[in-house]
A and B are shown apart, each in its own frame.
Chain A
Amino acid sequence: MSTNHAVLAHHFENLEQQRETETFGMWLFLATEVLIFGAVFTCYAVYRLRYPHDFEAASARLNILIGSINTIVLLSSSLTMALSVHAARVGRQQMLLTCLLLTIFLGGTFLGFKALEYYEDYREKLVPVLSFDPGEWTKVEGAEGPVNPQRVQLMLVFYYVMTGLHAVHMIVGMGLLVWLVAEARRGRLTPVRYMPVDIVGLYWHFVDIVWIFLLPLLYLTGTHHTSDLHF
């Protein structure tokens, strides 16, 4: 019982109640996160419905290969995160440490691919204001006549705001994971005190879910061709 006393905060009746409260608190925070991303998604929906052909034309130019690889990388990091929770609960310290480090590595891989993609976008003149060629787009035919370069830039702004906000969340998540690794190395994550892993896991999976929707909204909205498959 001595370990239980150290873990249990004085204002809770028992561990069960404490864990329940911690989980509920995180879900409340995630509900506010739904509204942060929800505002951007709603704004996207308004313009996506208003300028469908320009958005489809811009989407068709985004790098579908990097976008897809990054989706698989992020889903893999969610698997290793879920396995970390399992390892913490059954008390397998080595597996816990390995899975946490793998999650950090996969998160870093995602951000690395993202940086490479932004650089390629810049070289392909897909960055509004900084690197964009309106003349190139006036020759592009949409489903109903030529596309409007201004609206293409609007779609690209959505792409950078949405992926940028997502990337910021990834960086926060990796910071939390580094903290978990430090805790695990000190032996402070045990089958009694596993909730830090569980709570960070909820956050990490939420960020994964956001990306699950960014993939179809940004990358897959336009029709792609197999010749688009390049880095």
Chain B
Amino acid sequence: MSGPITPTRTYYCVFAALIALTLATVFVSFLELGPWHTTVGVLIGVVKASLVGLFFMHLLHSSKASWLAVLAGLFWFGILMALTLSDYLTRHVLAY
């Protein structure tokens, strides 16, 4: 990455947000949410991962080529997940 040098202050702020979100997600696991723990946990995880990617990994100032690699990785992961689950989650629909 040859973009601007990120000031240390940005890193400290992002770190504080990451720690706050970690404490929040652990706190939520003590509540009686039944089957919703995974959903809430993964949503908070997406926010945390975005913070790490955008600021620690400098995606905010990265070239389009880097974004292309990131989006390609996520896109293929999406295909992997969607096609696999569209099979397993619909098996009970058809009698076979």
Contact = CB atoms under 8 A, between A and B. Distances in A.
B35 A212 contact: no
Contact of B62 (A23, A28, A206, A222): A23
A163 interface: no
A170 to B, nearest CB: 16
A48 B42 CA distance: 13
Given A31-B70, A215-B25, A221 B37 contact: yes
Contacts of A3: none
A90 B5 CA distance: 8
B49 A213 contact: yes
A220 B41 contact: yes
A2 interface: no
A198 B3 CA distance: 12
A221 B29 CA distance: 8
Contacts, number: 160
Nearest to B5: A89
Nearest to B70: A27
A20 B49 contact: no
B28 A220 contact: yes
B93 interface: no
B42 A213 contact: yes
Interface of A: 15-16, 19-20, 23-24, 27-28, 30-32, 34-35, 38-39, 41-42, 45-46, 48-50, 52, 56, 64, 68, 71-72, 75-76, 78-79, 81-83, 85-86, 89-90, 143, 198, 201-202, 205-206, 208-209, 212-213, 215-217, 219-226
User: Interface majority SS on A: helix, strand, loop or mixed?
Assistant: helix
Interface of B: 1-2, 5-8, 11-12, 15, 18-19, 22, 25-26, 28-35, 37-38, 40-42, 44-45, 48-49, 52-53, 55-57, 62-63, 65-66, 69-70, 72-74, 76-77, 80-81, 84-85, 88-89
B22 A71 contact: yes
B26 A24 contact: no
A34 B25 contact: no
Given A34-B77, A220-B28, A212 B38 contact: no
Contacts of A52: 35
A83 B57 contact: no
A24 B37 contact: no
Q: Which of A28, A42, A201, A212 has the most CB of B within 10 A?
A: A212
Nearest to A23: B1
A223 B57 contact: no
17 contacts: A20-B65, A30-B69, A35-B76, A56-B37, A72-B19, A72-B22, A75-B22, A86-B11, A143-B35, A205-B52, A212-B49, A215-B45, A216-B44, A216-B45, A217-B42, A220-B29, A223-B32
Contact of A81 (B8, B22, B45, B56): B56
A102 B1 CA distance: 23
A35 B15 contact: no
B74 A50 contact: no
A45 B81 contact: yes
